Amino acid sequence: MARLTLPAQELMYRGHAACPGCGPALAMRLLLKGLGPRTVLSIPACCWTVIATPFPTTALGVAVLDNPIESTGASISGLRAAADALHLPDVTVVGFAGDGGTADIGLQALSGMLERRTDAIFVMYDNEGYMNTGVQRSGATPQGAWTTTTPVEGTRRGKREPKKEIMAIVLAHRPAYAATVNPAFPEDFVRKVETARDVRGPRFLHALAPCPPGWRFSSEETIDLGRLATETGLFPLYEVEEGVYRITRRAGTLKPVAEYVHRQGRFRHWTEEEVEELQAATRAGWERLLRREQETAPSLPPPTPPIGGTPAPA
Amino acid sequence: MREIRFHGRGGQGAVVASELLAQAAFLDGKEPQSFPFFGVERRGAPVTAYARIDDRPIGLRTSIVAPDVVVVLDPGLLGTTPVTDGLRPGGLLLVNSARPPERLAVPPGVYRATVDATAIAVEHGLGSRTMPIVNTTVLGALARASGVVSLEALQRAIDRYVPSRPRENRAAAADGFASVRLLDAVVPPERLAVPVAPGASPTIPEGPVATVPSRSIRTAAWRTLTPEIELARCTRCNFCWKYCPDDAIELDAQGFPRIVLDSCKGCGICAAVCPPRTIAMVGLEEAA
Amino acid sequence: MTREVLSGNAAQAYAVRLARAQVVSAYPITPQTTIVEQLSRFVADGTLDARFVEVESEHSALQVVVSASALGARSYTATSSQGLLLMHELLHWAAGLRAPIVMGVVNRAVAPPWNIGADHTDTISQRDTGWVQLYPESSQEVLDTVLQAFRLAELAEVRLPAMVNEDAFYLSHTVEPVDVPPAELVDRFLPPREGHAILRPGVVARLGSFTGPDHYVEFRHELARATDEVLRRLPEVEEEFRRLTGRTHGGALATYRTDDADAVLVTMGTMSTTARTVVDELRAAGRKVGLAKLRLFRPLPEEELRRLAGSVDRLGVVDRAFTFGASGPVAGEVRAALYAAPQRPRVDSFLAGIGGRDVTPGHVHRMFEELLGPDGAETVWEDLAPTEVGVHG
């Protein structure tokens, strides 16, 4: 057997009902590799409700509880309380919600869970819209993106408002651990999941999850687009533990955002000026993140391990 | 009353086809009805849509179980979906396929027709070879093969209701009408195809708890392209395994990848991420 | 057995402690608040070994206990009025997941206008969610009913959530002597919940799942069957409870002096106490009247209602809520239940005590008079002040 850079264990089963090239499916596969079998997942209404396949089958090799779209934060508080009350050992409690079920309708329950310091992991898989219902805008849809409710027609040019910054909202609650993950960088993804698994207290993972039908790109490009999201600085990979920021992937120079934008049908209507605006905002965001890292660094910052260099037990 | 059932894949336009047929029938002065089956609708996943056409208002609001016409937008569905279930004697099976209609397996007493709608659609710039938008071409073929709607009404409906490329879609419908191959003879009883048996109904537990691993579900029917690995050039980097969203790649004892064809949906990620480019995505008819 | 002076709300909390609930979660709302305050103190002083999850809404409170129950923890929450309405979606979840949660509900009027008085609109409007609904009338009955509700809810054949409903202030904040059974006795009646935790860490299972029309109806039918089982099991549970404590509260439909009655009032909750006193007064005056307290509203004890109808000429149903465009909701249900009865008495519909208005002996006297009088087909709004119809500002 060749050396694997990810755990061999497959807890997401084949046969699931995700679209070809589904980012959320790959995110789930990597997440469960990092979490292991003693995980209890709570999943609200989202793409994964359907992806996990109908009764009597399940695509998830762990214990799973369905919950309504808005209450994932509360559900994992309840699961944690029960696991503690029943003295169930080594249980990792995880909520896995889409961007709507996290940052829009699920925000109150998420805030409650973070504030009451539930010992659990909340994962937002961000496909930047209500994709299960057929591509409608969410608070996490990027500015200027086409969706069926933010058409490019008449006076409208896609979504008018900028993307909601869920990490900033989460970090305002001072979680024990928070990180961005991207399935295009699976070793970094799994390492952060393993880190999150072993930290106590409220933990949050923001997972980018490219959606071929929703973002209007061809299914084989999911990984390429994921890489570009990070390499352009649009979706930087970092983690925040006890308030200390650490960027986990540092490109020498950022790639132009145009490379990312021009490969997706949802941005097809964009002008050069719109691309330039995004470029400027992205650069500013990246610089802000660099400053954050410097400001919060302990006196001797730990060296950044190279991506893909963390071997995992096979 | 004529009952028509459409089989396609999510994203291919089966639902739009049945709606467009209803609009066209209305322009013919008929009383139409069209509705989709609301199930798991995923890009590539098999989907069903229905249409009824009559001279009088339709007094039914139920699924169509004994259609007069079955329209299959994707030949890849034939091996995995029981498309001819309930098809009435004297009815018609119309399939988007480059092959002659004699090759179609159908119940006795059924007429067969094929149209190479993929080639026609691509020729008119409707979709791509892997994701052709064949619905208007197939409707043109349906108009000719079944007579449930006139080509003229169909083209007026396209003008009114197809938002993008109405001219190309009109031309494609006309080409479908002109090139459909219809067999006059019905299939004799001895050539009866064995229908796919529906799965046994599971015992219902007291609470809604699902425990059967989904590995038993075949998602091969979603695929329009199949990855083929040239193992001689494989470096065993396992990128294909690492990035597969369907867990459809296994590594053997030596670390060489193998595609689990029952599960692969043909997304093409493995081919795209393979550093030495040893994976090719091959069309279904080429692969067969 | 100790005897303490407790409010209905305190009785809820005492019962939850005796039941050894493992997870409690609630959000404050008047007049439920004192239940959760008391439970917080019990957890703080160590006399209740439970996880108390402080939440940001009633919606989250119910989700917390639904999820906790799915892992096997005995779980309790409490709310009232608007809070219950906010929980509505999750009420369906709790029943559909077959989570044997017990919830205390203090029945309070629904806004607007704001009103914190007793009213059954909040719980009545949740009648189609699959929850068991019990309406005790005294602090003692509250304490006993919470224990019985846990026992009933957790039966393998039932596995349904149950509400124990108390009228705002008339019960929630009314203190009266209560026999508090010793813990050892309750432990014999209510052993630890076991055997039907549906989810277990390390075991592949998805609770909730999704289905098309192919299986959904079977799950709904299972729910219906479990609900029917409640009617069979409540008498057994009450009998077990009586053997241990010597107390009984009369099962699903507690009748009082109905045997030879010409006219019987059907009530729920605290007005039953007052009505019972009036029955005694009228009996003393030679009037053949009786009382049937509907203690179990969901599932509706239709058989018992039909049995009652077999011996009386007139039933008057007193509702503390109204179904707009129809009648008093309980009256409507009683009428429907009696449609199949061999003998169908006249069923009058009375509304009383809406929005915390007092239901006095005088009101009960008047209702009996109307019931014994000529035809009463229309719903009677008791004690209604004259209004200027159609005038706004």
Domains of chain A by residue range:
23-145+156-296
Please report whether residue C386 resides in a domain: no
Q: Are B282 and B229 contacting, i.e. CB atoms less than 8 angstroms apart?
A: no
Query: Which residues 197-256 in chain C show a CB within 8 A of chain A?
Result: 197, 199-212, 215
Residues of chain A contacting C20 with CB distance shorter than 8 Å: none
How far is CA C357 from each of CA C167, C273, C284, C291, rounded to the nearest angstrom? Answer: 11, 16, 28, 21
Query: For chain C, what is the domain count?
Result: 2
10 Å Cβ neighbour count for C384? 10
- C201 plus C347 within the same structural domain: no
The answer to whether residue B143 scores a pLDDT higher than 70 is yes
- B160 plus B250 within the same structural domain: no
Residues of chain B contacting A4 with CB distance shorter than 8 Å: 238, 251
In the predicted model, what is the mean pLDDT of chain B?
Answer: 88
Q: Are A181 and A207 contacting, i.e. CB atoms less than 8 angstroms apart?
A: yes
Burial class (CB in 10 A: 0-12, 13-18, 19+), C4: middle
A210 Cβ under 8 Å from any chain B Cβ: no
- C47 plus C164 within the same structural domain: yes
Choose between C382 and A236: higher pLDDT: A236
**C148 CA to chain A: closest CA distance, Å?**
22
The answer to whether residue A313 scores a pLDDT higher than 50 is no
Query: What gap in Å lies between CA A153 and CA A127, rounded to an integer?
Result: 23
Residue-level pLDDT at B188: 53
Q: Are B63 and B18 contacting, i.e. CB atoms less than 8 angstroms apart?
A: no
Residue B73 DSSP code: S
The answer to whether residue B205 scores a pLDDT higher than 90 is no
Query: Within 13 A of A140's CA, how many CA atoms are on the CB side?
Result: 31
Please report whether residue C372 resides in a domain: yes
Choosing among A6, A31, A152, A219, which should be mutated to test the B contact, i.e. which has the most B CBs within 10 A? A219
Please report whether residue C388 resides in a domain: no
Find the CB nearest A22 among B211, B237, B245.
Answer: B245
ipTM: 0.95
Query: B83-131: per-residue pLDDT in tens?
Result: 999 999 899 999 999 999 998 888 888 999 999 999 999 999 998 777 7
Residue-level pLDDT at C194: 75
**Average of per-residue pLDDT across B127-150:** 91
10 Å Cβ neighbour count for B266? 31
Beta bridge mates, C163: C103, C133
Please report whether residue B71 resides in a domain: yes
Query: For chain B, what is the domain count?
Result: 2
Residue A274 DSSP code: H
Helix orientation angle between C139-154 and C8-18, rounded to the nearest 10 degrees: 40
Query: C326-352: per-residue pLDDT in tens?
Result: 999 999 999 999 998 999 999 999 999
- C258 plus C311 within the same structural domain: yes
Residue C22 DSSP code: S
Please report whether residue B203 resides in a domain: no
Query: What gap in Å lies between CA A143 and CA A139, rounded to an integer?
Result: 10
- C368 plus C304 within the same structural domain: yes
> Which alpha helices (H) appear in A137-242, and where do they start and end?
166-171, 186-198, 212-215, 222-231
Q: Is B50 helix (H, G, I), strand (E, B) or coil?
A: strand
Residue-level pLDDT at B234: 97
CATH of the domain at B251: 3.30.70.20
Sequence-distant (6+) residues with CB within 8 A of C228 are C299
Residue-level pLDDT at B40: 62
Query: What gap in Å lies between CA A36 and CA A61, rounded to an integer?
Result: 9
- C134 plus C228 within the same structural domain: yes
Residue-level pLDDT at A308: 52
Beta bridge mates, A121: A94, A203
Please report whether residue B196 resides in a domain: no
Beta pairing class for B2-9 and A244-247: unpaired
Burial class (CB in 10 A: 0-12, 13-18, 19+), C341: middle
Instruction: Kindly report whether the peptide bond that precedes residue A210 is cis, defined as omega within 30 degrees of 0.
Output: no
The answer to whether residue A2 scores a pLDDT higher than 70 is no
3-state secondary structure B179-210: HCEEECCCCCHHHCCCCCCCCCCCCCCCCCEE
Residue-level pLDDT at B21: 96
Please report whether residue B209 resides in a domain: no
Query: C197-248: per-residue pLDDT in tens?
Result: 689 999 999 999 999 888 899 999 999 999 999 999 999 999 999 999 999 9
- B187 plus B265 within the same structural domain: no
A78 Cβ under 8 Å from any chain C Cβ: yes
- Our measurement of the distance from residue A68's CA atom to the centroid of its chain's CA atoms, rounded to an integer in Å, reads 20
Strand locations in C161-248 (E): 162-167, 176-180, 205-207
Query: What gap in Å lies between CA A132 and CA C36, rounded to an integer?
Result: 39
CB contact under 8 A, C219 and B204: yes
- C132 plus C154 within the same structural domain: yes
- Domain of C260, in residue numbers: 253-381
CB contact under 8 A, C222 and B202: no
The answer to whether residue C35 scores a pLDDT higher than 70 is yes
CB contact under 8 A, B268 and A219: yes
Please report whether residue B265 resides in a domain: yes
Query: What gap in Å lies between CA C255 and CA B217, rounded to an integer?
Result: 57
- B43 plus B136 within the same structural domain: yes
Query: Within 13 A of B281's CA, how many CA atoms are on the CB side?
Result: 19
- B184 plus B234 within the same structural domain: no
The answer to whether residue A163 scores a pLDDT higher than 60 is yes
The answer to whether residue A307 scores a pLDDT higher than 80 is no
Residue-level pLDDT at B186: 67
Residues of chain A contacting B202 with CB distance shorter than 8 Å: 55-56
Residues of chain B contacting C96 with CB distance shorter than 8 Å: 208
Position C388 confidence tier, pLDDT thresholds 50, 70, 90: low
Burial class (CB in 10 A: 0-12, 13-18, 19+), B254: exposed
- Domain of B232, in residue numbers: 217-287
Structure tokens at B162: 């197809």
Please report whether residue C393 resides in a domain: no
pTM of the entire structure?
0.91
Residues of chain B contacting C204 with CB distance shorter than 8 Å: 211, 213
Beta bridge mates, B210: C206
Residues of chain A contacting C207 with CB distance shorter than 8 Å: 63-66
- C111 plus C241 within the same structural domain: yes
Q: pLDDT over 90 for what percent of chain C?
A: 91
Choosing among C16, C39, C67, C90, which should be mutated to test the A contact, i.e. which has the most A CBs within 10 A? C67
Query: B240-288: per-residue pLDDT in tens?
Result: 999 999 999 999 999 999 999 999 999 999 999 999 999 999 986 554 4
Query: What gap in Å lies between CA A159 and CA C95, rounded to an integer?
Result: 39
CB contact under 8 A, A57 and B213: yes
CATH of the domain at C143: 3.40.50.970
Report the chain B residue with the minimal C-alpha distance to residue C216: B208
Beta pairing class for A238-241 and A177-181: antiparallel
Query: What gap in Å lies between CA B136 and CA B104, rounded to an integer?
Result: 22
Query: What gap in Å lies between CA A60 and CA A80, rounded to an integer?
Result: 20
CB contact under 8 A, B211 and C208: no
- C359 plus C285 within the same structural domain: yes
Q: Are A257 and A231 contacting, i.e. CB atoms less than 8 angstroms apart?
A: no
10 Å Cβ neighbour count for A201? 14
Q: May I ask the CATH architecture of the domain A23-145+156-296?
A: 3-Layer(aba) Sandwich (3.40)
In the predicted model, what is the mean pLDDT of chain A?
Answer: 94
**Average of per-residue pLDDT across C42-48:** 97
Position C75 confidence tier, pLDDT thresholds 50, 70, 90: very high
The answer to whether residue B194 scores a pLDDT higher than 50 is no
CB contact under 8 A, A85 and C61: no
Instruction: Kindly report whether the peptide bond that precedes residue C299 is cis, defined as omega within 30 degrees of 0.
Output: yes
In the predicted model, what is the mean pLDDT of chain C?
Answer: 95
CB contact under 8 A, B219 and A16: yes
Q: pLDDT over 70 for what percent of chain C?
A: 97
Query: Within 13 A of B249's CA, how many CA atoms are on the CB side?
Result: 28
- B154 plus B278 within the same structural domain: no
Ramachandran area for residue A306 (φ above 0: left; ψ -120 to 50: alpha; else beta): beta
Start-to-end CA span in chain A (Å) = 10
Please report whether residue C353 resides in a domain: yes
Position A40 confidence tier, pLDDT thresholds 50, 70, 90: very high
- B126 plus B40 within the same structural domain: yes
CB contact under 8 A, C214 and B209: no
* Cα angle, residue C9 at apex, residues C115 and C106 outer, rounded to 5°: 35
**Average of per-residue pLDDT across A173-197:** 98
CATH of the domain at B156: 3.40.920.10
Residue-level pLDDT at A251: 73
The answer to whether residue A5 scores a pLDDT higher than 60 is yes
The answer to whether residue A303 scores a pLDDT higher than 90 is no
Residue-level pLDDT at A305: 59
- C37 plus C86 within the same structural domain: yes
Query: What gap in Å lies between CA B193 and CA B105, rounded to an integer?
Result: 6
The answer to whether residue A43 scores a pLDDT higher than 60 is yes
Query: Within 13 A of A71's CA, how many CA atoms are on the CB side?
Result: 27
| φ, ψ dihedrals at B184, nearest 5° | -70, -35
Beta bridge mates, B69: B4, B92
10 Å Cβ neighbour count for B82? 15
CATH of the domain at C297: 3.40.50.920
- C321 plus C232 within the same structural domain: no
Q: Is A31 helix (H, G, I), strand (E, B) or coil?
A: helix
- B222 plus B187 within the same structural domain: no
Residue-level pLDDT at B200: 43
Amino acid sitting at position C11: A
Q: Which residue has the tokens 């490329």?
A: B165
